[in-house]
Amino acid sequence: MPVEALFGISEPGESQVKQVCKGRAVGIDLGTTNSLVAVVQAGQPICLREGKSILLPSVVHYAADGSVVVGQGACELAARFPEDTIASVKRFMGRGPGDAEATRKLTPYRFAPGEAADPMVRFSVAGGARTVTPLEVSAEILRVLKARAEAELGGELDGVVITVPAYFDDGQRQATRDAGRLAGLEVMRLLNEPTAAALAYGLDKQAEGTFAVFDLGGGTFDISVLKLEGGVFEVKSTGGDSALGGDDFDRAIAGRFLQAMGLPGDAGGDPCVAQAVLDTARVAKEALTTASETAVSITLPAGQTWNGRLSRAELDGLVRPVLDRCGPAVRRALRDSGVAADQLSGVILVGGATRMPIVRRFVGELFGAEPLADIDPDEVVALGAAIQADLLASGGRGDVVLMDVVPLSLGLEMMGGVTEKLIHRNTTVPCGAVQTFTTYADNQTGFDLHVVQGERELVADCRSLARFKLGGIPPTTAGMARLKVTFTVDADGILSVAAREENTGQEASIRVKPSYGLTDDEVERMIRDSFDHADDDMGARLLTVERVEADRILGATRAALAGSADLLVEGEREAILAGMVELESAKAGSKHLAIRGAVQSLDEASKEFARRRMNAALDANVRGQALDSVERKVGKP
Amino acid sequence: MICWSCQKAAGDGALCAACGAVQPPDPKADYFRVLGLPRAFAFDAAGAEQSYKELTKVLHPDRYARADARGRRASLERSVQLNEAWQTLKDPVRRAEYLLSLDGIDVGEMSGVGRSGQYDDHVTLPVPQVLLMEVLELREALATAHSASDVHETEALVAKVRSRLVTVMDDVARGFLATPPELATIAARLVTVRYYRRFLDEARILWEEDTPALGGSGADAG
């Protein structure tokens, strides 16, 4: 699929200016399972209620008559109309049809047929009469929260801060932002959920020190390490898995029930059975937070009833493998933060799934410390978002500042398909990087710049963000042009790239703004892969780099031998040719160190020859002749 | 400097002396000046961090969300420069490299090995054969330990290299204290540091593969 179709590339001057206003600015936690809205009143963040409830179930029902029901009402309709009632929509944000396949095994939804290249999944709802995107479903939830806040605050909202998992990639973030816009909200900022939680703890509980925030929600897992000190909230590192959460527990439990009932793992493709079993699994899971055993009863649509029991020990056995998937992300976040587990002041729990005893025990074991849960783990994110909304809308308080980081590395494609990272993940924003590149081939008159996001060493394994060209460079020898590339990431996490050829002053720049709904299980897969293949990757990268280098040196040496044969002394040609043969054979192998070694021997063999050529060239230059293109390349140390 | 906002003399600070508007950064200011620190290798980490955070509180773009375009831009550029300065100076190795670069000596990212496509107009420092041999041997030992899943051996290698790294960094610190500073010695030591650090990074990846639990700071590259 062409990258241009996926990404709108706008000019730097184009408006990204946000209207930020005083007054009614709220924070919204758009959760996988529940959503809620909070506001700062008289200096204190509070969650807004509707009737008695703070939590709005993130469930949307599309009735056949065209009406839309959101929240508790929709939950009640889920058992009867599983296909028309979308829950856990957050899992599908910024996802393509290909990605949904993975979670489709046990979801009751009907997916509208889509192209493999389609950037968004589409649900077929309202009895098949209507197709909606995850973005529209999310907008329905946001509309309800907007109305709740407006009723409470007595007027239109001026701006909102919506929280997202720290690990959401650009596509998922853009989808969230666009859902806000669709709901008629002015989105001032997307705030990472763990950061929001830390803000709430830091301001409310006056917490100081270095904390890990362990956020296990319905569908996402996030881990962040933050340092809270003197009103400065510094995110040290962040990581996670945007497709791991309490829903996975439900699915594991449901799988056990289906097995006990003698049904296949996909409930025989019957959405009502799937929904009934998933509902029962969730209820059983919640019951086992306090009880040690619970009775289970599932009545199938056909009328028969299955009765069973589930103990906490059995639950723990089902949940543990899912929980273990948190380990690598936690370790990576700690490593990136430079803080050891035993140096943490505490671990903050966020998300409904952290109520489960096994999750608390797991966190305790993982970090070697009792986790903190003083603030309701369901509310803490929304409270933090309200604080940030208030800070932004009031133009900041002199005593509080939030320093966030880039979640995924940003770089450029280099010769040979290798990624050159300009900005590494977990760099504090706003940030910038400048690097100078040169031409690879003689008479190259332009540069193709390919901006990528991800941790892997090879471009093919990273996510493409944008491509652009810088042309108009006069033909010259390889290595003579100087291309200065500047990356800038602003406080909103939006990347701008500018390129300038220093000799000619040719310039080009773009603002990288991904369009929503990108196909992306990529990020968590990329990250998991990068962890699994760090070794391979480094090897592959080094090998590619060394091969490119070897080709360059072989070409230059060949040209030098042909062009300056008169400068060779006796036996020198043979020695250089032997070196070239050795390098050719090393290049055919897969050991980068062997190639590097062969390059060094060839350099050694041709050093004197290169020196003589350099002198001859300098002499020639004095007489006003141009340097031959290979001169400066041969004999490079 | 004349303040862009009030047109009066702005002074040298980040904020205009007359009206308090944030001023665009001086691109020529060195990182020590950006953080208000003396230009020296010796470093009061706690004091520097304090200074960094105080400046961040004043300059962060979130504080200028309601400002006009020029104010927002100045705050963004100031913050980028401030973050860069802090990232560079807080790490002793990068601080040493930066100090050398202020004296026109560029240690280069991969000393001795030119990377294709990357423009490299600085003099790459020679890598002593002895160092290459040493690192090669360490790598082999590491590969052997890893293929045997011998975590203790990996940890022993890491400890060995870390202690060598400490010795080398002590040399660097001494070099900066001498009058005049022994720049050539420092540069040579920094080449060694690069190789040690890369070794530690690789060792950490392998160590993590071989270690199931979270662990403390065991194989931290320091």
CATH number reported for the structural domain that contains residue A557 in this entry:
1.20.1270.10
A18 has a chain B CB within 8 A of its CB? yes
- Pull the structure tokens for residue A138: 């999310």
Residue B194 belongs to a domain:
yes
Do residues A285 and A428 both lie within one domain? no
Do residues A221 and A110 both lie within one domain? yes
Q: Chain A residue closest to B206 (CA)? A: A535
pLDDT confidence of residue A116? 53
Q: Which string of DSSP letters, residue by residue, matches A75-99?
A: HHHHTT-GGGEEE-GGGGTT--HHH
A382 vs chain B: nearest CA distance in angstroms? Answer: 19
Residue B49 belongs to a domain:
yes
**B119–A479 CB contact, under 8 Å:** yes
Question: A190 pairs with which residues across the strands?
Answer: A162
Do residues A330 and A414 both lie within one domain? no
Residue A523 belongs to a domain:
no
Do residues B76 and B138 both lie within one domain? no
Do residues A429 and A511 both lie within one domain? yes
**B57–A548 CB contact, under 8 Å:** no
Residue A55 belongs to a domain:
yes
Residue B140 belongs to a domain:
yes
Residue A525 belongs to a domain:
no
**A491–B60 CB contact, under 8 Å:** yes
**Structural domains counted in chain B:** 2
Residue A26 clears pLDDT 60, i.e. is over it: yes
Residue A6 clears pLDDT 50, i.e. is over it: no
Residue B84 belongs to a domain:
yes
Is the pLDDT higher at A600 or at B189? Answer: B189
**B76–A330 CB contact, under 8 Å:** no
Alpha carbon distances (Å) from A327 to A227, A239, A251, A465, A525: 21, 11, 20, 29, 15
Do residues A233 and A122 both lie within one domain? yes
pLDDT confidence of residue A437? 84
Report how far residue A557's alpha carbon sits from residue B74's, in angstroms, rounded to the nearest whole number: 50
B179 vs chain A: nearest CA distance in angstroms? Answer: 32
Residue A22 exposed, middle or buried by CB count within 10 Å (0-12, 13-18, 19+): exposed
pLDDT confidence of residue B92? 94
pLDDT confidence of residue A397? 62
Q: Which of A20, A332, A335, A397 to probe by mutation at the B interface, max B CB count within 10 Å?
A: A335
Do residues A432 and A467 both lie within one domain? yes
**A430–B113 CB contact, under 8 Å:** no
**B53–A230 CB contact, under 8 Å:** yes
Report how far residue A39's alpha carbon sits from residue A143's, in angstroms, rounded to the nearest whole number: 16
Low-confidence ranges of chain B (pLDDT < 50): 110-122, 215-222
The residues of A carrying an active-site annotation are 29, 90, 193, 215
- How confident is the model over A94-105, as a mean pLDDT? 59
**B64–A18 CB contact, under 8 Å:** no
Q: Which domain holds residue B190?
A: 129-210
Q: In this predicted model, what pLDDT tens digit does every residue of A129-140 receive, in sequence order?
A: 888 888 889 999
Report how far residue B8's alpha carbon sits from residue B21's, in angstroms, rounded to the nearest whole number: 11
Residue A22 clears pLDDT 60, i.e. is over it: no
Element (H, E) at A36: strand A34-41
Q: Chain B residue closest to A327 (CA)? A: B214
Closest CA to A483 of A563, A393, A412, A582: A412
Do residues A393 and A454 both lie within one domain? no
Do residues A538 and A460 both lie within one domain? no
A480 has a chain B CB within 8 A of its CB? no
Chain A residues with CB under 8 Å of B135 CB are none
Do residues A282 and A397 both lie within one domain? no
B56 has a chain A CB within 8 A of its CB? yes
SS3 content of chain B, % helix, strand, coil (to 5): 60, 0, 40
Residue B64 belongs to a domain:
yes
Do residues A312 and A334 both lie within one domain? no
A287 vs chain B: nearest CA distance in angstroms? Answer: 30
**B116–A636 CB contact, under 8 Å:** no
Q: Give the rounded percent of residues in chain A with a pLDDT score beyond 70.
A: 84
Chain B residues with CB under 8 Å of A229 CB are 53
Answer with the one of A366, A388, A403 that is the final residue of a domain: A403
A331 vs chain B: nearest CA distance in angstroms? Answer: 6
3-state secondary structure of A31: coil
Is the pLDDT higher at A443 or at B144? Answer: B144
Q: Has this prediction a pTM greater than 0.90?
A: no
Residue A575 belongs to a domain:
yes
**A415–B57 CB contact, under 8 Å:** no
- Mean pLDDT (chain A) is 80
Answer with the one of A484, A516, A548 that is the final residue of a domain: A516
A417 has a chain B CB within 8 A of its CB? no
Of the listed ranges A254-258, A445-449, B124-128, the one predicted with least confidence: B124-128
**Structural domains counted in chain A:** 4
Do residues B80 and B26 both lie within one domain? yes
A306 vs chain B: nearest CA distance in angstroms? Answer: 40
**B214–A327 CB contact, under 8 Å:** yes
Name residues 311-330 of chain A within 8 A of B (Cβ): 327, 330
Q: In this predicted model, what pLDDT tens digit does every residue of A281-332 receive, in sequence order?
A: 999 999 999 999 999 998 887 778 889 999 999 999 999 999 998 988 898 8
Report how far residue A239's alpha carbon sits from residue A241's, in angstroms, rounded to the nearest whole number: 7
Q: Chain B residue closest to A541 (CA)? A: B115
Report how far residue A183's alpha carbon sits from residue A131's, in angstroms, rounded to the nearest whole number: 18
> Does this complex have an ipTM over 0.90?
no
B57 has a chain A CB within 8 A of its CB? yes
- How confident is the model over A348-377, as a mean pLDDT? 91
pLDDT band at A526 (very low <50, low <70, confident <90, very high): very low
Cβ atoms within 10 Å of A206's Cβ, excluding its own: 8
Q: In this predicted model, what pLDDT tens digit does every residue of A616-630 receive, in sequence order?
A: 765 654 443 333 333
- The CATH number of the domain holding residue B48 is 1.10.287.110
Q: Which domain holds residue A613?
A: 534-622
Whether A118 contacts A96, CB under 8 Å: yes
B152 has a chain A CB within 8 A of its CB? no
* From B80, B116, B126, residue closest to A430, measured CB to CB: B80
CB pairs under 8 A between A and B: 126
A287 has a chain B CB within 8 A of its CB? no
Residue A627 belongs to a domain:
no
Residue A359 belongs to a domain:
yes
Do residues A355 and A216 both lie within one domain? yes
Answer with the one of B90, B115, B137 that is the final residue of a domain: B90
For A206-311, where are the alpha helices, taking DSSP H only?
246-260, 271-287
B208 has a chain A CB within 8 A of its CB? yes
Name residues 429-458 of chain A within 8 A of B (Cβ): 429-432, 435-438, 440
Chain A residues with CB under 8 Å of B47 CB are none
- The CATH number of the domain holding residue B153 is 1.20.1280.20
**A428–B119 CB contact, under 8 Å:** no
Do residues A85 and A200 both lie within one domain? yes
Report how far residue B129's alpha carbon sits from residue A44's, in angstroms, rounded to the nearest whole number: 64
Residue A398 exposed, middle or buried by CB count within 10 Å (0-12, 13-18, 19+): exposed
Residue A565 belongs to a domain:
yes
- Over its C-alpha atoms, chain B yields an Rg (Å, rounded) of 22
Residue A628 belongs to a domain:
no
pLDDT confidence of residue B201? 85
Cβ atoms within 10 Å of A92's Cβ, excluding its own: 29
- How confident is the model over A93-115, as a mean pLDDT? 66
Chain A residues with CB under 8 Å of B66 CB are 20, 395
pLDDT confidence of residue A66? 86
**B119–A340 CB contact, under 8 Å:** no
- The CATH number of the domain holding residue A444 is 2.60.34.10
- Over its C-alpha atoms, chain A yields an Rg (Å, rounded) of 29
B114 has a chain A CB within 8 A of its CB? yes
Tokens 């991800």 identify what position? A454
Name residues 572-611 of chain A within 8 A of B (Cβ): 593, 596
Q: In this predicted model, what pLDDT tens digit does every residue of A142-152 receive, in sequence order?
A: 999 999 999 99
* From B80, B118, B126, residue closest to A488, measured CB to CB: B80
**B118–A420 CB contact, under 8 Å:** yes
Do residues B160 and B77 both lie within one domain? no
Residue B192 belongs to a domain:
yes
- The CATH number of the domain holding residue A61 is 3.30.420.40
Residue B98 belongs to a domain:
no
Spatial neighbors of A459 by CB under 8 A, at least 6 apart, are A413, A417, A418, A419, A450, A452
Closest CA to A272 of A299, A249, A307, A308: A299
B73 has a chain A CB within 8 A of its CB? no
**A436–B56 CB contact, under 8 Å:** no
